[in-house]
Amino acid sequence: MSELVWIFVSALLVNNFVLSYFLGLCSFFGVSGKLETAFRLGLANTFVMLITAVAAWALNTFVLVHAPYLRLISFIVVIASTVQFVEMVIKKLSPALFQALGIYLPLIATNCAILALAIFATNRGYGLLEGLVFALGAGGGGTLALVLMASLREEAELADIPSLMKGTALNLIIAGILSLAFMGFAGLFSQA
Amino acid sequence: MTASALQELHKGIWKENPVFVQVLGMCPMLAVTNSVINAIAMSLATFFVLVGSSFLVSLCKDLIPHQVRISCYIIIIATFVTVADFTLQALLPAVHKELGAFIALIVVNCIILGRQEAFASKQPVGLAVADAVGTACGFTLALVCLGSIREILGNGSLFGIGLFGPHFEPWVVMILPPGGFITLGLLLLFFNWLQETRRQRRATAQPSADEGVTAG
């Protein structure tokens, strides 16, 4: 049990996917302009991660035992089709959310955080339950980072910033400071 | 033909540098640039994958149906990445271990898919390869630049060789994640400043030229 808690908190805070592994930065900088959209993208991301964790476990256990060199290709194909599926479901259930996410919904397929989740889970030999908890933590951590970043950027909109600094340069430095803050969590566990 | 190929090469390295100008492919870049050696290994792997897949995509562009092109590109890219991954594991196991999952993650590097979609799928093989080489060199330039700054400041060394002697107090945060974000932010700021001053210089040069015309 404590093992599962450790996996969850580690993925959520200590080894935050966005701020300490640099994963999923494209959508992190692309969609963090508005708080509302950022939060929803985080949720969609988490959902795809959960499905990917199950799919990666199934592939590793049943299909790839004899052909490990096909791992990367089969993962990416599974992720792409999952994203396609999620896109259809969201379009059907909530057209408004579909509109708000725009191009970033299909782009979840090339979000490195998703593929990294599958690869990390494989490398660390996680089972089904551990994989799901890991996905939940990583997705939650990604959402947390997105929400924090979006809130900071909404504040920064109102501030008087030199024109040279505006845009990506400022966002990167804000992310750097956030990441510095998240480093504080590193002492939370003494490698349980 | 050769002139335009050279142009594509130059464009990728400087004018449309994938990192400093287009701000693509940030994930692998920030993650592996805590030392120059890692940065170079990563650039070599990316170079191989980018040039290989541009070549193949350009060669097969008439065979791939438009509707499923993205999936086809991704499968081609994933094949090259698998080759690069296993090669690196066999030749340089230490570096492979340090780079970890990030070699596999070249598959989802937006620079590579971007070049296939925007260029290789529409151009002849020669130009596509020139464009890929240019973009890959631009990526290498950015990675080595970032890697050197972070290694010099954060570890007081370059290529693992100490630079400043025993009294140097390393600025450890530079090789940790926040250093990556902040260094890249400052580099982008520097590039913005370069472009801005160049634009201003051109703007001040322009009116005087006009005056010359009216005076003449």
How does pLDDT run across B131-177, given as a tens digit for each residue? 899 888 888 988 888 888 888 888 777 877 777 777 777 787 888 88
Question: Is the alpha carbon torsion for A68, A69, A72, A77 positive or negative?
Answer: negative
Q: How far is A182 from chain B (nearest CA, A)?
A: 9
Chain mean pLDDT for chain B: 81
> CB–CB of A86/A93 below 8 Å?
no
Q: Which of A160, A180, A143 has its CA nearest to residue A28?
A: A143
* Chain position carrying tokens 């390393």: B170
Residue B213 placed within a domain: no
Residue A42 placed within a domain: yes
Total structural domains in chain A? 1
Total structural domains in chain B? 1
- Domain of A108 in residue numbering reads as 2-185
| ipTM greater than 0.90 | no
- At A16 the pLDDT is 84
pTM to 2 decimal places: 0.81
Residue A87 placed within a domain: yes
Residue A79 placed within a domain: yes
Residue A162 placed within a domain: yes
Q: Which residues pair with B158 in a beta bridge?
A: B161
* Residues in chain B whose Cβ is within 8 Å of chain A: 23-24, 26-28, 30-31, 71, 74-75, 78-79, 81-82, 85-86, 101, 104-105, 107-110, 113, 173, 176-182, 184-186, 188-189, 192-193, 196
Coil, strand or helix at B157:
strand
Residue A190 placed within a domain: no
Pairwise CA distance, residues B156 & A103, whole Å: 43
Nearest to A72 among B81, B173, B189 (CB): B81
Residues near A159 by beta carbon (within 8 Å), at least 6 away in sequence: none
Better pLDDT: A17 or B2:
A17
Question: Residue by residue, what is the 3-state secondary structure of B8-76?
Answer: HHHHHHHHCCCCCCCCCCHHHHHHHCCCHHHHHHHHHHHHHHHHHHHHHHHHCCCCCCHHHHHHHHHHH
Residue A22 placed within a domain: yes
Residue A192 placed within a domain: no
Count of pairs with CB atoms under 8 A, one residue in A, one in B: 110
Q: What is the pLDDT of residues A89-148, one digit of tens each?
A: 888 888 887 877 776 777 776 678 888 888 888 888 888 888 899 999 999 998 999 999
Q: What is the pLDDT of residues A60-84, one digit of tens each?
A: 888 877 777 888 888 888 888 888 8
